[in-house]
Amino acid sequence: MSKRLVVLTFTATMGFAASCFALQNPPAQTQGAKDPQTPAAPAQQPSYETSAVLKVKTRLVVVDVVARDSKGAPVTDLKQGDFTIVEDGKEQKVRIFNFQQPETSPMGAAPAPANPGNIVDNLPHFKPGRALNIILMDSLNTSRINQVTMRDAMIKFLETLPENEPIAVYLLGDRIRLLQDFTTDPAVLKDVVRSFKGRSSSLLNVSANGSPITPILPGIAQSLPPQMAFQIREFETSQAASLTDQRVSATLSALNSLARTLSGYPGRKNLIWISETFPFDVMLSSVTSATDRNYTHDIARTGNLLSDSQVAIYPLDARGLAGSGLFNVANGSDSMSAGGSQMDREADERLAARTTMLDLAERTGGRAFYNRNDLDGAVRESIDDGSTYYTLGYYPENKNWDGGFRKIQIKLLRSGVKLRYRIGYFALDTATFAKLNPKRKDQDFDEALSLNVPVSTALPFQAMVMPPSAKTQNKVVVSYGVDPHVLSFAAGNDGLQHVDMECAVRVFAKKNPDKTVTTEAQKMGGAMNADAYAKVMKGFFPCRDQLTLEPGDYLLRLGVRDNETGLIGTTNATLTIPAGNGNATQPDPAAGASKP
C-alpha cells in the first residue's frame, strides 16, 4: 500500500473551510453541484450528544435493557427513576434514557440524497422504526446436514414473517458475506435463503485433506505400541487445536466486520446467530487454546465492538433435538465402545456449545435457544424479544481505562420484572489502538478495503470520484469528506485541535474483482485553531487520494480510518475510464463514477 503523509495546519486567516471545501453550511444536495470537486458534507447530526460522538469523546456507556413481566410480556411503562445502574459496585448517574418499541408505520429505505452520480457514501440508507434484526447463517461452524435444517427453517420462518420487520441476512463461511441488506420484503429474503445450498466447512472436524478426523478405535489402540498410540493421539489433539484456532480467528474477524457494518445504524441490533458450535465467549476474562494461543485481547476487542454497536446476540443451536446415530448394538463390542466414546464426545461438545450460547446471550443482553426443533419459531421469538427495550447511558466515574472488565448491574424499583442486558464491558482506552505496532494497526484496515467484506459505517463519510481529465491532470482523484463529530480531535499544548486520520482507495478490475490493481493511501494530520475547528465541525474533514489508471472498468473500495481510535468507514464505487482518455475534451466527470 502506497502512503503519503500530509500535515495541514488550519487557521482562521487561511479561509480553509470557505476556500477549499466551501464549509459555509450550504445544503448538502447543492454543495456538490456548485463545485464538482467538492464532496457534499455528511448529514448534520441532530444533536452533538449522539451515541457515536460520546463513545469516542466522553466514554458514554450505552446499555439496552429488555424488561419482561412474570408471563413473559414486555413491560412498557417504566421511567428513568425506576432504574439504578451500578458499575463494579458503585452507582452511576443515568444521563440518557429512552424507550423503544415497534412502530406501526411503514418502514423502508430512506430517500437517497440528491447528490451528483459520482458522490458515494457509507451512510445508512435504511430508516429504522424499531430494532434491526440480523440473521447470521453460520456454515463455518456448522455441519452440512445441519445447514440444510437451517435453510429449511429460515424458509419456513419467512412464510409467516410479520409485516414491517427489517431483516438483513449474512453468511459466515471462510469469510462473512452479505446475502441481503435490510429489507422488509419477505419475497426478497426467501429468494436469498433458497439460493443458499450449503457447503462443508473445511475447519469443522476434518483433516487437512478434507477427510473426517476419526479417533483411534479402542481395539486398534490396544494393539499399537504405547509410544505410537501416544504420538497418534498427540497428532490428533494438535490438529484439532489448529482447526479450532483457525475457526476462532475467522469467526472473530467476521464479528468484527459485522460490528463495523452495523455501527452507523442507530439503536439496538439483534444478531440471530444460527450455528452448530460457538467457538468462544465474547466476554471471557481469559481464553487460551490448546496450542497456547491466548485470545483474551482479541475477544475483548470484539466484545467491545459489538457492545459499542449495540449488538445483542441471540444464539440458536442448529442441531435441534437430533440424536447420535453412531451407537448400534449390532456393531459388536469394539464398535459399541467406539460409538459410546463418540456419544460421550458429542455430549461434551453439546454441553460446551450450550454453555457458550448462554454466556454469549447473557453477556450481550440476548437470549439463547437450544434443544428444540422449531428453529423457525426460535428466530421469531428472538425478533419479538429484542423489539421492545429501554436504552440507558452513563459516563463511568472510574476514569482508569486499564482494559479490565467492568461489571454492570441494573436494579429496578418495581418487583416482578425480569431484566436482560449486557453484563459489562472491557475498559479499553481509546488510545490503545494508536499504540499498536503499525503492522497490527494496518491489518484491520487492509481487510476492510477488501470487496469480500461488508462495508463499514463506524466512521461516516462521503466521497467524490473524479475520472482523469485535463482538469485533474489525467489522474483519478478521490476527495473525501469525513464526519468530524466522530473523529477523535484532541487539544495540543500549542492550543490547536489535532486529528490524525487516513484515507485510502483500493482498485479492482471489474472483470476480475478478486485481483487488486493498486492501492493508494494518504495520512492526514490536522491542527486547527478554535475558529477553523468550529467551521470544520459544521461540515466535514477533508482528505484526498489520486492515482493513475489505464482505460478500463474498475471497482473501487474507498476507506477512511481514525488513527487514534481505529474507527473505520468504507464504501464502494465504480469507475469507467474510456479509451483515448487523457486529452482536454473529456465527458462530464459526474457520469464516470457511481455507487454500485
Give the pLDDT confidence of 237-252 residue by residue, as tens digits.
566 666 778 888 888 8
Q: How much is the average pLDDT of 64-82?
A: 95
CA angle, 243 then 245 then 249, to 5°: 120
In terms of DSSP H, where are the helices of 371-459?
Answer: 375-385, 438-448
Q: How high is the pLDDT of residue 66?
A: 96
Q: How much is the average pLDDT of 526-551?
A: 91
Separation of alpha carbons 232 and 209, rounded Å? 17
Separation of alpha carbons 566 and 488, rounded Å? 10
Tell me whether the CATH fold assigned to 2-42+431-594 matches the one assigned to 130-385: no
Q: How high is the pLDDT of residue 58?
A: 57
Highest mean pLDDT among 80-89, 425-434, 508-517: 80-89
How sure is the predictor about 200, in pLDDT bands with cuts at 50, 70 and 90?
A: confident
**Mean pLDDT over all residues of the chain?**
77
What cell numbers appear for 291 in the block? Answer: 496450542
DSSP per-residue codes, 132-156: EEEEEEESSSS-HHHHHHHHHHHHH
> Is pLDDT of 434 > 80?
no
Per-residue burial over 572-591, b = 16 or more CB atoms within 10 Å of its CB, e = otherwise: bbbbebeeebeeeebeebbe
Q: Which residue from 428, 433, 438 is spatially nearest to 459, judged by alpha carbons? A: 433
How sure is the predictor about 439, in pLDDT bands with cuts at 50, 70 and 90?
A: confident
What cell numbers appear for 442 in the block? Answer: 494496518
How sure is the predictor about 127, in pLDDT bands with cuts at 50, 70 and 90?
A: low
What's the pTM?
A: 0.76
Give the pLDDT confidence of 482-502 residue by residue, as tens digits.
999 999 898 889 999 999 999
CATH of 130-385, one of 3.90.1010.10, 3.40.50.410, 3.40.630.30, 3.30.470.30: 3.40.50.410
Domain borders along the chain are: 2-42+431-594, 63-101+394-428, 130-385
How sure is the predictor about 40, in pLDDT bands with cuts at 50, 70 and 90?
A: very low
Asked if residues 449 and 506 have their Cβ atoms less than 8 Å apart, the reply is yes
Separation of alpha carbons 426 and 387, rounded Å? 26
Q: What does the radius of gyration of the chain's CA atoms come to, in whole angstroms?
A: 26
Separation of alpha carbons 547 and 585, rounded Å? 20
CA angle, 124 then 102 then 424, to 5°: 75
Q: How high is the pLDDT of residue 555?
A: 96
Q: How much is the average pLDDT of 534-547?
A: 92
> Is pLDDT of 573 > 70?
yes
More confident residue, 339 or 165: 165
Instruction: Return the CATH fold of 2-42+431-594.
Output: Immunoglobulin-like (2.60.40)
How sure is the predictor about 231, in pLDDT bands with cuts at 50, 70 and 90?
A: low
Q: How high is the pLDDT of residue 187?
A: 85
Separation of alpha carbons 183 and 193, rounded Å? 13
Give the pLDDT confidence of 444-496 residue by residue, as tens digits.
899 899 998 899 999 999 999 999 998 999 999 999 999 999 998 988 899 99
Highest mean pLDDT among 92-106, 327-341, 424-438, 474-488: 474-488
